[in-house]
C-alpha cells in the first residue's frame, strides 16, 4: 500500500453498471423504498433520460451493418444476431491518484462482447491499447467515440453462459467467430492521472446467446 492509501496492483476505479444481472442493480434493490424514491426518475423528468441505451444500440447496429458489408455478409445477417441480445451501459470513475505509477485504473483485458462504444466524458487521457507488445496511449478526441471490437467478433471458439429463469444454459458454438479474425479484439487497459479524475462510459452490445454463430470464411 502506498502512503496515500492505494493498493499496489489493485484497480483504482469505481464502476456503476446498468444491466439485469449487475451488482449495481442488486445493491439499489436492497435499499429501502424511502431511499430509492430519492433517486427515482421517469422518462421526461430530465431531457434525454433513459435514451442512452437505445441510442447506443442504434449506433452499434449501424456499425455492425457496415462491418457486415465489409465482410460481404448478407444484408441484415450480422445485425440479426444482436437484435435480441444484451445491452450493457457502465460508467467508470477513475479518481486522481498521487502515485499513478503504482496502480492501474483498469487491468489489461479484451472485451467479451460483440462491440463496445466508449465515450470519454471529461477529456482526460488514460486509455491504452497493446500493439506488438507495446502499450500505446489513445489520445482523447473531443466529440469522438472510441469503438472496440469484442471477442465475439473475433475468437475461433466460444463458450456462452446464459441464464433463463433458474436454468443456466451452456451453448458451445464450434465456429462462433463472426469475422474469423478479420476484426481483432484488442487488449487494452486504463491508467490513472495524478491530478485529474477520469470518467468514461462504455456501452456494450452482446449477441443473442440462444443463437448459433457461424464462422466467416478466412
Query: pTM to 2 decimals?
Result: 0.69
Mean pLDDT value across residues 184-200: 91
Residue 113 domain-assigned (yes or no): yes
Residues spanned by the domain of 200: 14-206
pLDDT of 191 strictly over 60: yes
Mean pLDDT of all residues in 196-211: 84
According to the model, what pLDDT value does residue 7 have? 45
CA 18 to chain centre: 11
Evaluate whether residue 193 is within a structural domain.
yes
Contacts (Cβ under 8 Å, ≥6 apart) of 166: none
Q: Specify the pLDDT at position 71.
A: 82
Q: Which residues of 120-140 are buried (b: 16+ CB within 10 A; e: fewer)?
A: beeebebbbbeeeeeeeeeeb
Q: What is the pLDDT of residue 156?
A: 44
Domain annotation covers residue 4: no
199 pLDDT exceeds 80? yes
Calculate the alpha carbon distances from 130 to 198, 212, 217 in Å: 20, 30, 26
Over residues 129-167, the pLDDT tens digits come to 999 999 999 999 988 999 999 888 875 433 333 333 333
pLDDT-derived band at 209, boundaries 50, 70, 90: low
The 3-class SS string of the chain reads CCCCCCCCCCECCEEEEECCCCHHHHHHHCCCHHHHHCCCCCCCCCCCCCCHHHHHHHHHHHHHHHHHHHCCCCCCHHHHHHCCCEEEEEEEEECCCCCHHHCECEEEECCCCCEEEEEECCCCCCEEEEECCEEEECCCCCCCCEEEECHHHCCCCEEEEEEECCEEEEEEECCCCCCCCCCCCCCEEECCCCCCCEEEEEEEEECCCCCCCCCCCC
**Domain total for the chain?**
1
- Residue owning grid cell 505509477: 101
Please report whether residue 8 resides in a domain.
no
pLDDT of res. 173: 33
The backbone torsions φ and ψ at residue 125, rounded to the nearest 5 degrees and listed phi first, read: -70, 155
- Establish if 196 belongs to a structural domain: yes
**Residue 70 included in any domain:** yes
Residue 92 Cα distances to 48, 50, 60, 107, 151, angstroms: 20, 18, 20, 13, 21
Tell me the per-residue pLDDT of 15-61, one tens digit each, with 9 for 90 and over.
544 444 444 444 544 556 666 566 666 656 666 666 788 888 899 99
pLDDT (tens digit, 9 = 90+) per residue, 48-102? 666 788 888 899 999 989 988 888 888 787 888 888 788 888 888 899 988 888 8
Residue 160 belongs to a domain:
yes
- CA distance linking residue 90 with residue 203, whole number of Å: 6
- Residue 2, domain member (yes or no): no
Q: Please report, for the domain that includes residue 133, its CATH number.
A: 2.60.120.330
Amino acid at each position: 500500500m502506498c502512503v496515500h492509501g492505494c493498493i499496489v496492483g489493485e484497480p483504482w476505479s469505481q464502476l456503476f453498471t446498468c444491466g439485469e444481472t449487475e451488482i449495481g442493480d442488486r445493491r439499489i434493490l436492497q435499499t429501502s423504498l424511502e431511499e430509492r424514491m430519492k433517486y427515482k426518475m421517469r422518462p421526461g423528468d430530465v431531457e434525454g433520460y433513459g435514451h442512452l441505451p437505445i441510442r447506443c444500440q442504434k449506433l452499434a447496429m449501424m456499425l455492425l451493418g457496415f462491418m457486415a458489408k465489409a465482410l460481404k455478409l448478407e444484408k441484415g445477417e450480422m445485425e440479426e444476431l444482436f437484435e435480441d441480445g444484451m445491452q450493457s451501459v457502465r460508467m467508470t470513475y477513475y479518481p486522481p491518484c498521487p502515485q499513478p505509477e503504482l496502480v492501474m485504473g483498469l487491468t489489461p483485458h479484451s472485451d467479451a462482447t460483440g462491440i463496445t462504444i466508449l465515450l470519454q466524458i471529461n477529456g482526460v487521457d488514460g486509455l491504452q491499447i497493446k500493439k506488438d507488445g507495446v502499450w500505446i496511449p489513445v489520445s482523447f478526441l473531443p466529440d469522438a467515440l472510441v469503438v472496440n471490437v469484442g471477442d465475439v467478433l473475433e475468437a475461433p471458439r466460444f463458450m456462452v453462459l446464459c441464464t433463463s429463469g433458474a436454468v443456466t444454459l451452456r451453448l458451445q458454438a464450434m465456429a462462433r467467430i463472426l469475422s474469423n479474425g478479420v476484426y481483432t479484439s484488442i487488449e487494452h487497459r486504463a491508467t490513472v492521472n495524478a491530478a485529474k479524475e477520469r470518467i468514461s462510459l462504455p456501452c456494450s452490445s452482446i449477441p443473442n446467446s440462444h443463437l448459433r454463430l457461424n464462422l466467416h470464411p478466412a
